[in-house]
Amino acid sequence: MKTLSVLIIGLVFTISQAWAQQQHSVKIPDDIQKLLQQYACLACHKADAKLIGPGYIDVSKKKYTEKQIVELIYTPKPSNWPSYPPMAPMKHVPEKDALKIAAWINSLAKKHS
C-alpha cells in the first residue's frame, strides 16, 4: 500500500510538471534545460516570467552580448535589475556552459521581440 501511495504521488507530480511546462510559451531545449538545472539557475529564473530574478526573455531584451551575460553570471550587477534581489555570483559555472546559456538567452530576443 505504501509503495502504491509513493507511485501515485510520483505520477501526480510528473503529470503536474508536464502540464506546467505546457503552460509556458518558451520551450527550453533539452541541453539548455540540463545546464539550467545543473547550475540551479531555475531556482530563481524562468524562461518567460519573473520568479525571484527576471525571466530570460526579459534578460534578452537588454541586448547584452554573450560575453556580457557570462560576465554578469560571474559578477552580477544589482544596479542592472534594481527591482530584483541581488543575484549571487555563479563563478562555478564553466565558461563554455555559461556561453551556451548566454547564446540561448540571446536567441529569445529574436523569437519574442
What's the CA gap between 16 and 31, in Å, rounded?
Answer: 22
Amino acid at 64: Y
Amino acid at 56: Y
pTM of the complete model: 0.76
Residue 96 reports pLDDT greater than 50: yes
pLDDT of 33-60, one tens digit each? 999 999 999 999 999 999 999 999 999 9
Structural contact between residues 108 and 46, judged by C-beta atoms closer than 8 angstroms: no
Give residue for cell 531556482: 43
Residue 4 reports pLDDT greater than 70: no
Q: Residue ranges per domain, the chain?
A: 28-111
Yes or no: domain 28-111 corresponds to CATH 1.10.760.10? yes
CA nearest 105: which of 76, 71, 64? 64
Q: What is the pLDDT of residue 8?
A: 54
The rounded mean pLDDT for the chain is: 85
